[in-house]
């Protein structure tokens, strides 16, 4: 069975603070993919990043960075120097290699105050 847990329901920070969104997953598959999506108030889901289970290198893209640790089954997402435009609900998701179905976490609502 696959499961994604985002324990933080809501996080509120002040602009320019760093913030980390946690994601813990469960899977019996040895090959799988992890994703983060952003859902701004407009409602659409925007793809942010994909990692495969063989690649534990952390990734940085501008103010965004991702820390994938297979040993703890975690795929955490950090926003550095947060901005008001980062306010959104962020979803972590898991997909097995041989199964095209994605399992989403419950989402974390991030509010960045000016």
Partner 1 sequence: EADIYQTPRYLVIGTGKKITLECSQTMGHDKMYWYQQDPGMELHLIHYSYGVNSTEKGDLSSESTVSRIRTEHFPLTLESARPSHTSQYLCASSDSRQGIYGYTFGSGTRLTVV
Residues that bind partner 1 (CB under 8 A): 33, 35, 37, 42-45, 47, 50, 52, 89, 91, 93, 95, 97, 100-102, 104-107, 109
Q: Do residues 78 and 60 lie in contact, with contact meaning Cβ atoms separated by under 8 Å? A: no
Length of the chain: 114
Using alpha carbons only, what angle is made at residue 85 by residues 80 and 86, rounded to the nearest 5 degrees?
45
Is the Cβ of residue 36 or residue 79 nearer to partner 1 in the bound state? Answer: 36
Is the Cβ of residue 42 or residue 57 nearer to partner 1 in the bound state? Answer: 42
Q: How far is the CB of 46 from partner 1 (least distance, A)?
A: 8
Q: How far is the CB of 47 from partner 1 (least distance, A)?
A: 6
Is the Cβ of residue 21 or residue 89 nearer to partner 1 in the bound state? Answer: 89
Residue with tokens 């990043």: 49
Q: How far is the CB of 23 from partner 1 (least distance, A)?
A: 13
Tell me the CA distances in angstroms from 102 to 11, 30, 87, 108, one per residue in order: 24, 16, 24, 17
Q: How far is the CB of 43 from partner 1 (least distance, A)?
A: 4
As a whole number of angstroms, the distance between CA 36 and CA 50 comes to: 7
Q: How many helices (H) and strands (E) does the chain have?
A: 0, 12
Is the Cβ of residue 59 or residue 97 nearer to partner 1 in the bound state? Answer: 97
């Amino acid at each position: 069975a696959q499961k994604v847990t985002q324990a933080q329901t809501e996080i509120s920070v002040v602009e320019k603070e760093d913030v980390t969104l946690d994601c813990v997953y469960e899977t019996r598959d040895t090959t799988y993919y992890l994703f983060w999506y952003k859902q701004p108030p407009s409602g659409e889901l925007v793809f942010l990043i994909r990692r495969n289970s063989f690649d534990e290198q952390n990734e940085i893209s501008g103010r965004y960075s991702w820390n994938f640790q297979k040993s703890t089954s975690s795929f955490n997402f950090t926003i550095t120097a947060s901005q008001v435009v980062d306010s959104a609900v962020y979803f972590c998701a898991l997909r097995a290699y041989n199964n095209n179905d994605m399992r989403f976490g419950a989402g974390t609502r991030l509010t960045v105050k000016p």
